[in-house]
Structure 1
Amino acid sequence: MPPRTSVAEFRELVNSSTRILALCGAGLSAASGLPTFRGAGGLWRNHESTSLATPEAFEADPALVWLFYAWRRHMALRARPNRGHYALAELAKKKDGFLCLTQNVDGESRFAARRMACIVLLDNKCFNECGYVDHNNLDDPVCPALAPAAEDYPPDKTLPLLDPNVPVPPINVEDLPHCPNCKTGLLRPGVVWFGEALDEAMLREVDVWVVRGKIDLMLVVGTAAAVYPAAGYTRQAKRRGAAVAVVNPDPSAAEGLSSRDFFFQGDAAEILPQLFEGVIGKMDQNGQIIES
């Protein structure tokens, strides 16, 4: 049996739910103009974007990796939360038992009660792991050498940095950000790269919350939940009694859902305000509640 698609039935479930676990991915921020970098078209220039998200890639070509992340920083600093973010924020206000997990690095999910990764795209830290961290650095660009990543072009023109036919601007490693603490290492983006561990204390907090009692609802928004530990939370929530509701434009995201679950195909920025309306009230196009 396929999952349910009834908005009315889902609203009833949200209304009656006490403990709600939300897992949010990059698709939640797509309406804010931030690319997801997964699936079809997940390229940056002619590179698989995930191939640049490793310590090995940074060690091999720190200038290229820094250009990639400097451009993402620039995009994130320009972006604004969308109606999906605001809807989740309002739900968190209404439901004390709401816990939000996100591995996003764009910072647009700043409403979340808990996150699997903080606003780390704006953090810089020492690649040599001396312990230095520059939190919430809003410089754009991070340093003069990365200025090509912080340029704005009209919508009908392509930023030269994004055109694989245009050579990458030459950057000397000496001109990249260096650690002011140990004075020997480069600074790197403060994101959690593939092959690196998330904060163990934060993961323990999430595990304690999960086993504390029955989970009524598991929201999976804008993510394929393919990367661990995020991938395991849906299974854990189901074992704790949760119905799963997936919001995703990709129909394949409904795979594995049962007849007691829900699937809503489309943009989270449009769908979430509708789904939560019975709890948070009606929301206008700017993300403001106009009728509760």
Structure 2
Amino acid sequence: MASGNPTLIHSTISSSYNSNHGPSNDIASFKEVLSSSTRVLALCGAGLGASSGLDTFRGPGGMWRNYRSQSLATRDAFTSDPGLVWLFYSYRRHKALAMEPNEGHFALAELARRMRKDGEEGFLCLTQNVDGLAQRAGHPEGSLKLLHGCLYDIKCANSVCDYRERNNFNDPYHPSLGISSEDDEKLLPAANKVQAVATYLDPNKSTTTISKDELPHCPKCITSLLRPDIVWFGEALPGNTIDEIDQWIDKAPINLILVIGTTAQVYPAAGYVDMARHAGARVAVINMDGEGLGSAGGLGKDDWLFVGDAGTILEEILSRPSSEKEKE
């Protein structure tokens, strides 16, 4: 296992951006380092999906049906009101399926293919996103690790039952969870509404009319409910995923780490930024905001900060230099 492996519990911390030297935003120098790198790690967050039009459910606008989205992403909320939690994720599945991968997703997928040599992955993408857009962009499976699961994966809520479904794109997943056009409008996040922040409902109080009998049940153990195969707050990340990441990290030094659309405040994901940096990797941050970068803060003169739309920026900075194209 990689030394200094971060804790495996999904949690958040607060950090602030602090740089005494100032990073570069020079695309040419970044491309030069990228083209000479043999090992590149990327950490992707909600900002990448936002370029496709997806709600991030973060910050003051991170509301759904007057609920704080993070309060619904817990085992306690599911135990208390599984119908409400299922509706929330059914809405997210519905919206994500209506979106298309953006230029950034395709650029990362192409970089993964470009850096795969002799059967070895020279590029590894760790995504905190559950929207499935990277997979739909054709990102090679071997170089993509889903840290927090996927909206289209399902598992039994009973931890001793091993039933799982992968890549179930049915919309709705279950007849009881259908979202009509009218419902779609009702369930829009109450973004930027002060009253929504002040009057959000208690997720421990049932407000849905969907009974447990109407919800999807496990076909294997019969009695238990199915749930989205998402890593909720307070849950450990999949051990096999962490092991695969550690094995890749331990193989050889990382030359460059890309921090894309994330404030790098959620562990263990944020810990990989620290790990790569301490091992000598240079850091490139691509984000809508240059402040509050969490573990990706403290960028120095040998690092890069590209502020703006992640999809647009990635398409530009990850494209091959003309000199490389001429060699083909």
TM-score range, shorter chain: 0.7 to 0.9
Question: How far apart are 1:158 and its partner, in Å?
Answer: 6.8
Q: 1:232 to 1:117 in 2, by over 3 A?
A: closer
Q: 1:45 to 1:184 in 2, by over 3 A?
A: same
Aligned to 2:94: 74
Amino acid at match of 1:270: T
Pairing 1:2–2:33 present:
no
Aligned-partner Cα distance in 1 for 2:128–2:223:
30
Pairing 1:255–2:297 present:
yes
Pairing 1:128–2:183 present:
no
Aligned to 2:187: 161
Question: Residue 316 of structure 2 aligns to a residue in which SS?
Answer: helix
Pairing 1:193–2:232 present:
yes
Question: Residue 288 of structure 2 aligns to a residue in which SS?
Answer: coil
Q: TM-score, normalised by structure 1?
A: 0.88
Q: 1:163 to 1:73 in 2, by over 3 A?
A: closer
Aligned-partner Cα distance in 1 for 2:34–2:213:
54
Task: Output aligned runs, 1:1-292, within 5 Å.
Answer: 1-96=21-116, 97-110=122-135, 111-112=139-140, 113-117=143-147, 120-129=150-159, 130-147=161-178, 150-152=179-181, 159-162=185-188, 170-252=209-291, 253=293, 255-279=297-321
Q: 1:62 to 1:160 in 2, by over 3 A?
A: same
Question: Residue 262 of structure 2 aligns to a residue in which SS?
Answer: coil
Question: Residue 58 of structure 1 aligns to a residue in which SS?
Answer: helix
Q: 1:225 to 1:262 in 2, by over 3 A?
A: same
Q: Any conservation in 1 of the 2:53–2:99 contact (CA below 8 Å)?
A: yes
Question: Residue 43 of structure 2 aligns to a residue in which SS?
Answer: strand
Give the gaps of 5 or more residues in structure 1.
Answer: 282-288
Give the gaps of 5 or more residues in structure 2.
Answer: 1-20, 117-121, 191-195, 202-206
Q: Any conservation in 2 of the 1:91–1:280 contact (CA below 8 Å)?
A: no
Farther off after superposition, 113-122 or 58-67: 113-122
Aligned-partner Cα distance in 1 for 2:249–2:170:
37
Question: How far apart are 1:220 and its partner, in Å?
Answer: 0.5
Question: Residue 272 of structure 1 aligns to a residue in which SS?
Answer: helix
Aligned-partner Cα distance in 1 for 2:33–2:131:
30
Deviation per CA, 1:18-53, whole angstroms, max 9, x where unpaired? Answer: 110011111111122211112231111211111111
Indicate the RMSD between aligned Cα atoms, in angstroms: 2.5
Amino acid at match of 1:43: M
Q: Any conservation in 2 of the 1:132–1:181 contact (CA below 8 Å)?
A: yes
Aligned-partner Cα distance in 2 for 1:137–1:215:
34
Amino acid at match of 2:81: D
Aligned-partner Cα distance in 2 for 1:123–1:277:
32
Larger RCO, structure (CA 8 Å, separation 6 or more): 2
Q: TM-score, normalised by structure 2?
A: 0.78
